[in-house]
Each structure stands twice: as structure tokens, then as C-alpha cells.
A and B are shown apart, each in its own frame.
Chain A
């Protein structure tokens, strides 16, 4: 299976703290994307990092990609209660997007 693994499965932090989620995959990718899904809602695209990039920022989000280790991390700084959601990495293989298992983030106010 090409599905990626994510850790931790669940993360609970206080508002204002940083949250880090990790994603690992098995085979070479075109790019890696991160998505957020609020409970019962649709997917929101957060950020895309290409295979030749090592780091990317968007607002409070920082994504890194290490193709030699086949891993990526998503850092959310200064978390807010509204960041409470499930976060998924998704690897693009050819023309397909394959999702990781996801991390459930809970930010307590």
C-alpha cells in the first residue's frame, strides 16, 4: 500500500503552543500536500511542497520535506482553538493523491 503513516495519531495541546505532525511515505513522490478536515466537514488544502523543495511557509504553517528519509512534518505555531481538526498528509504519485492516516489535533483554550 502507498498510504502514508502519520504520527502522532492524536495530539492535545494548549492554545498558544506549537503543534508538530509527522508523515512518512514509502516510494518517491511528485509532491506532498497537507489538508485539514474539521469534524464532519470537507477537506481544506493547506500547503503543497514539491519534491525538490525542503521547506515551505504559509502564515503560521511550516512544512518540511526530507526526500532521503521519505518524511515530512507540519508545524503549526501559536495554535488556536480554531485549529482543532484532523490533519492529513497526501502524497502525489503520478496522477494520484494518496492520503496518510491522519493526526487528530485538539487545541484547548
Chain B
């Protein structure tokens, strides 16, 4: 299966600032996704990262708050903008493609103070 490198693994940020999370896959994949996992909760799909075009956002998530890039088939970034304490969560990257199923990064644990 593909291996995903996600960084940073954790960060503590001041409210009002932005954080960009990077996701690198070791092989070409068809689809890449970003999820949020709030404390004690399940994973919620934020968006599908589309290569070379705007991401497709799920209900409740907007591009101004969570801009996403995917410049090629193996790399994507998620930015959490103008952060507030409510954005404190684990953010996970996922990818699917080829003969394997879904693979997940190890997550970025974000704390906003």
C-alpha cells in the first residue's frame, strides 16, 4: 500500500494565525482527501483535493477557511486559516488509488491557544 508522510505531526498556534499541513504520498494516487477529527469524535470529511483544480468541499466547510492545494498526483496541502480554539483537532490526509485501498497519514494534532 501507499505510504503517506504528513507534517507537521503536531503544532500549537496562536488564534488568528494560519497553519499549512503537508501531505506527501510515495506513489501516484487517484484521489486525496482531508479529514478533521475533533476531540473524542469521529472523522469528518473536509474536502476532496483535486489535482490541478479547486477542491470539492463537504457541507459545512469552505475554501476561505480551509484552502487546499494539490499541484501534482502525490502532494497536497491543507491550510487552516484565521484559527480559533474551535479549530483544535487532528487533521488527517488520506489517499486512494491503484490496487490498494484507502491509506491515511498519521495526522496533525493542532492546538489553538
Contacts and interface: CB of A to CB of B under 8 A. Distances in A.
- The answer on A and B forming one complex is yes
A48 B35 CA distance: 20
A101 B33 contact: no
- B interface bracket (residues with beta carbon within 8 Å of A): 20 to 34
B104 A99 contact: no
Contacts of A88: 42-43
A48 B102 CA distance: 10
A42 B102 contact: no
A20 interface: no
B48 A95 contact: yes
A33 B45 contact: no
Given A88-B43, A102-B42, A95 B102 contact: no
Given A42-B104, A42-B106, A45-B101, A97 B42 contact: no
Contacts of A102: 41-42
Contacts of A48: 101
Contacts of B102: 33, 45, 90, 97
Interface in B1-59: 30-31, 33, 35, 41-45, 48, 59
Contacts of B41: 101-102
Contacts of B59: 1
A97 B42 CA distance: 12
A96 B104 contact: no
A97 B106 CA distance: 17
A1 B101 CA distance: 23
Interface of B: 30-31, 33, 35, 41-45, 48, 59, 92, 94, 96, 101-102, 104-107, 109
16 contacts: A3-B44, A42-B92, A42-B104, A42-B105, A42-B107, A95-B96, A96-B33, A96-B45, A97-B33, A97-B94, A97-B102, A99-B43, A99-B44, A99-B45, A102-B41, A102-B42
